Amino acid sequence: MSTLVVVGVQWGDEGKGKIVHLLGQQADLVVRYQGGNNAGHTVIFDGKHFVLHLIPSGILQPGKQCLIGNGVVVDPVALREEISFLESRRVRVKGRLFVSDAAHVILAYHRYLDCLREDNAGQGKIGTTRRGIGPSYSDKVGRTGIRIADYLNPDVFKTLLDRNLREKSPLLKRFGSLEQIRRDVMKKYESLRRFLAPYVTNGPLMIHGAMERKHQVLFESAQGTMLDVDFGTYPYVTSSNPVAGGVCIGSGLAPTLIDEVLGVVKAYTTRVGEGPFPTELTDNLGETLRQRGMEFGATTGRPRRCGWFDAVAVRHAVRINGARWLALTKLDVLEGVNPLRIAVAYRVKGKLIKEFPSDRQLQEQAEPVYEDLPGFEGSIRGMKHYGQLPVNARRYIERLEKLVNSKVAMVSLGRSREETIVLDSKFPWKP
């Protein structure tokens, strides 16, 4: 029996989909523990291109079971669409996918409220995915949320829906009359309820059963540590806890049962949406990285902001997650970039800051202090062993390890599973 948490240690989009897919071969159960259909995990499998938003990428591995944990917010419409998409591509989902009955639902009015907040926020706009994630989590902690168990019970559901619509009515006016909004929700309700029911389970019990059977369980985060509502660049964050600590809250796994944490980290940095990004490149090189790395949001298609590797942010993330291991992705995108710059500290008004600050003004004003390393030339794609990498690529990796205080267990050089170098390490989960 062992458990592994795969977590993003930047601002999301680190390439977790591929890594989870690779390591998922060893897992019996793959669990998503936070976020919702704001995520976009891209996986190439059997020569086909899949983008998953809500369902753990383990679903693409035949025979694996997958659980959407209680920490996830589930839009039943989006879930039905994703299941149909997978089934249309001959992926068997029934009997393999389970949804915790304590997960909260996203309904149409959550999406409306997300758009409303963003449209009215002016300069304070967060750049959300507008999928209703924040409003659904707000209801959860405000104790007015609707859980899957409530959704499945028509009496409870209707009472909660009416109460919530009444409460939110002053804000919802712009989107139609309350009666109209209620009718739209109810029109789909019965068929969605019947569709959802067979997938619903007691999540903690399912995980506990897997542990008792000595199964391997992989926990897959969405987004990244710098988007964590507690440890990220608040308020420019998502509304959940992608960090490894979120696993226990978002799935019911006991804290004493986390064995390993693998941080997924890109060889440079990207961020979608608004908010501080100290190492952002707004020049031609930023554009080059975007084009080469195909840095466009998998969920919204928005161009991602690109920049140099930020060792201050990643060190902060490694520490919070206890990520003893890293999977370094997209190293190939840096081919021919010379020099390679790494932010090792920040400077604000002449003062040196070595650790990631919580003060939003410091985050915004932080000017990176860079260390330059020589770049590497030529194509590295297709290389199979660490020793084949150019010496400057290896130097870059080894310097990153030192700066962020973690060990690189694997390096990804492309989207397919073959384009992965496994370092001779003690990391127990082998791709």
Chain residues binding ligand IMP by CB under 6 A are: 12-13, 38-40, 126-129, 131, 133-134, 222-223, 227, 238-239, 272-273
**Rounded CA gap, 177 and 382, in Å?**
58
- Three-state DSSP class for 70? coil
Total residues found in the chain within this entry: 431
**Rounded CA gap, 12 and 313, in Å?**
13
Pick 236 or 376: Cβ nearer ligand IMP: 236
Pick 127 or 204: Cβ nearer ligand IMP: 127
Contacts of 301 (CB under 8 A, 6+ apart): none
Q: Which among 248, 258, 233, 193 is positioned nearest to 71, based on CA atoms?
A: 248
- Three-state DSSP class for 312? helix
Residues 54/39, Cβ–Cβ less than 8 Å: yes
Q: Closest separation between CB of residue 373 and ligand IMP, Å?
A: 27
Q: Closest separation between CB of residue 295 and ligand IMP, Å?
A: 11
Q: Closest separation between CB of residue 326 and ligand IMP, Å?
A: 18
Pick 103 or 207: Cβ nearer ligand IMP: 103
Q: What are the distances in angstroms from CA 227 to CA 288, 315, 422?
A: 24, 15, 28
**Rounded CA gap, 289 and 306, in Å?**
7
Q: Closest separation between CB of residue 105 and ligand IMP, Å?
A: 16
Residues annotated as catalytic are: 13, 41
Pick 101 or 220: Cβ nearer ligand IMP: 220
Q: Closest separation between CB of residue 238 and ligand IMP, Å?
A: 3
Q: How many C-beta atoms lie closer than 10 Å to residue 389's C-beta?
A: 19
Q: Closest separation between CB of residue 120 and ligand IMP, Å?
A: 15
Pick 268 or 427: Cβ nearer ligand IMP: 268
**Rounded CA gap, 161 and 186, in Å?**
10
The secondary structure of 116-139 as a DSSP string is HHHHH-GGG-----SSSHHHHHHH
Q: Report CA 58 to chain centroid distance, whole Å.
A: 14
368 backbone φψ class: left, alpha, beta (φ>0; ψ -120 to 50) = beta
Pick 38 or 164: Cβ nearer ligand IMP: 38
Assigned token pair, 309: 């590797």
